[in-house]
């Protein structure tokens, strides 16, 4: 029997079967040693009923199509997978209350790009800003190829498009507190009460085992992943030399750089800086690159 891991705490994993029911299962001894640090929410697993004690055991982890990993807790080695088999990262900001932050947006987009996961952008509370303001401000991101949803929980604008984008996919919703992530999900799925954020906090509280993420099945197919850890995922494991590839508008000009290992900071004959001077790369995005590059340089040695 196969299922999807919805959550895990202290070696007990909640696994959802194709019929929608869930079982609590533990890793079988033989799998355990190799896989204990690797099994993650979102994994597809095979389950067996142990004849001896009637418990369910996870006997196999099926190959992943993607994963988000973060640095292991202090004192432990390597990385921890936060969520497996994610189809997309949905970055949510509000037009006002709180104000959107492009630097933070760029950070989330880079995390998605670095992990080979598609990203889309939701700008909520658009009814609080002058008409057209959100579209104008975020048009550069749409031009980069990131699907852009302008939504309002109050007027219902954009909700249908967002619903279509979530249907049948495994999505991680992320973004600052108060932008309306829970409100949007509750509007799209009445009665489901996802409490994105709230659930993870209460589950984490008072326990020493870190809950990487929680998967919520959606009534019309797909899952929404609540990833308190997306911030911690950060830029862990992104080599500084690969950061430029996480900016889609840099990619076409990278082979214009004279040096193969160009950092695009002060080197002469740099394709990225030429594109910046020509207005084909925005200053805001370039600044994000420089800032993230510095951040990686500080932590890279610890990997
Ligand atoms: N005006 C307006 N207010 C909204 C809209 N969507 C949500 N809100 C309000 O914004 C506040 C925060 O919404 P939440 O859904 O709790 O925000 P969240 O992103 O889930 O926040 P955290 O759980 O803290 O991460 C609430 O008071 C909502 O009623 C909207 O489209 N327009
Ligand atoms: Mg919330
Ligand atoms: Zn360069």
CATH of the domain spanning 2-63, picked from 2.40.50.140, 3.40.50.2300, 3.40.50.150, 3.30.479.30: 2.40.50.140
CATH of the domain spanning 84-233, picked from 2.40.110.10, 3.40.50.300, 3.40.50.620, 3.30.1370.140: 3.40.50.300
- The answer to whether residues 70 and 236 touch, using CB atoms and an 8 Å cutoff, is yes
Identify the residue whose C-alpha is closest to ligand 1 atom 24. 177
- The answer to whether residues 27 and 39 touch, using CB atoms and an 8 Å cutoff, is yes
Ligand at minimal distance from the CA of 188 is 1
Percent of the chain with pLDDT over 90: 66
- The answer to whether residues 222 and 85 touch, using CB atoms and an 8 Å cutoff, is no
Q: What is the pLDDT of residues 198-250, one digit of tens each?
A: 434 444 444 333 456 789 999 999 999 876 556 667 777 788 999 999 999 99
How much is the pLDDT for 11?
A: 83
Most confident residue range from 4-18, 61-75, 150-164, 181-195: 150-164
Give the start-to-end residue ranges of the domains of the chain. Answer: 2-63, 84-233, 240-302
- For residue 153, the CA-to-ligand 1 centroid distance in Å is 8
According to CATH, the topology of domain 240-302 is Ribonucleotide Reductase Protein R1; domain 1 (1.10.40)
Q: How far apart are CA 41 and CA 140, in angstroms?
A: 34
* Closest to 218 measured CA to CA, from 183, 193, 199, 201: 193
Mutate to test the pocket of ligand 1, among 93, 97, 122, 153 (most ligand atoms within 8 A of CB): 153
Q: What is the pLDDT of residues 172-183, one digit of tens each?
A: 998 888 999 989
Q: What is the pLDDT of residues 67-84, one digit of tens each?
A: 988 777 666 667 778 889
Mutate to test the pocket of ligand 1, among 180, 195, 201, 224 (most ligand atoms within 8 A of CB): 180
Q: Which residues line ligand 1 (CB under 6 A)?
A: 124-125, 127-128, 152-154, 177-183, 196-197
Ligand at minimal distance from the CA of 124 is 1
Work out which ligand 1 atom sits closest to the CA atom of 124. 31
Say whether 176 sits in a helix, a strand or coil.
coil
Identify the residue whose C-alpha is closest to ligand 1 atom 11. 178
The rounded mean pLDDT for the chain is 87
Work out which ligand 1 atom sits closest to the CA atom of 186. 15
Say whether 6 sits in a helix, a strand or coil.
strand
How much is the pLDDT for 204?
A: 43
Identify the residue whose C-alpha is closest to ligand 1 atom 13. 180
Per the model's pLDDT, the better-predicted residue between 125 and 77 turns out to be: 125
Q: How far apart are CA 42 and CA 56, in angstroms?
A: 18
- For residue 94, the CA-to-ligand 1 centroid distance in Å is 9
Ligand at minimal distance from the CA of 195 is 2
Scored b (16 or more CB within 10 A) or e, 36-62 reads eebbbbbbbbbbeeeeeeeebbbbebe
- For residue 272, the CA-to-ligand 3 centroid distance in Å is 5
Work out which ligand 1 atom sits closest to the CA atom of 151. 31
How much is the pLDDT for 80?
A: 77
- Strand stretches in the chain, DSSP E: 2-9, 12-16, 22-27, 44-49, 56-61, 67-71, 79-84, 88-94, 118-124, 148-150, 170-174, 214-217, 223-226
- For residue 152, the CA-to-ligand 2 centroid distance in Å is 15
- For residue 247, the CA-to-ligand 3 centroid distance in Å is 13
- For residue 152, the CA-to-ligand 1 centroid distance in Å is 10
| Residue 136 clears pLDDT 90, i.e. is over it | yes
Ligand at minimal distance from the CA of 179 is 1
How much is the pLDDT for 69?
A: 80
């Amino acid at each position: 029997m196969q299922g999807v891991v919805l959550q895990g705490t202290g070696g007990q994993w909640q696994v959802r079967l194709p019929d929608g029911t869930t079982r609590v299962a533990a890793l079988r001894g033989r799998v355990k040693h190799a896989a204990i640090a690797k099994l993650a929410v979102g994994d597809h697993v095979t389950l067996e009923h142990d004849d001896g004690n009637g418990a369910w055991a996870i006997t196999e982890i099926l190959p992943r199509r993607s994963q988000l990993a973060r640095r292991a807790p202090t004192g432990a080695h390597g990385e921890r997978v936060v969520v497996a088999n994610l189809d997309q990262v949905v970055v949510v900001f509000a037009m006002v209350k709180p104000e959107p932050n492009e630097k933070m947006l760029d950070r989330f987009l880079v995390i998605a790009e670095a992990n080979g996961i598609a990203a889309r952008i939701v700008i909520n509370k658009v009814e609080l800003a002058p008409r057209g303001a959100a579209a104008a401000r975020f048009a550069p991101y749409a031009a980069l190829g990131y699907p852009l949803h302008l939504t309002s929980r109050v007027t219902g604008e954009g909700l249908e498009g967002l619903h279509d984008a979530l249907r049948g996919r495994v999505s991680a919703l992320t973004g600052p507190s108060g932008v309306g992530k829970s409100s949007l999900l509750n509007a799209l799925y009445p009665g489901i009460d996802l409490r994105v954020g709230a659930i993870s906090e209460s589950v984490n509280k008072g326990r020493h085992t870190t809950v990487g993420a929680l998967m919520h099945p959606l009534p019309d197919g797909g899952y929404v992943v609540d990833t308190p850890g997306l911030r911690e995922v950060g830029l862990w494991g992104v080599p500084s030399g690969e950061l430029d590839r996480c900016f889609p508008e840099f990619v076409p000009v990278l082979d214009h750089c004279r040096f193969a290992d160009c950092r695009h900071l002060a080197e002469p004959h740099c394709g990225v800086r030429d594109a910046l001077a020509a207005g084909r790369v925005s200053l805001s995005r370039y600044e994000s690159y420089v800032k993230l590059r510095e951040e990686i340089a500080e932590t890279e040695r610890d990997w």
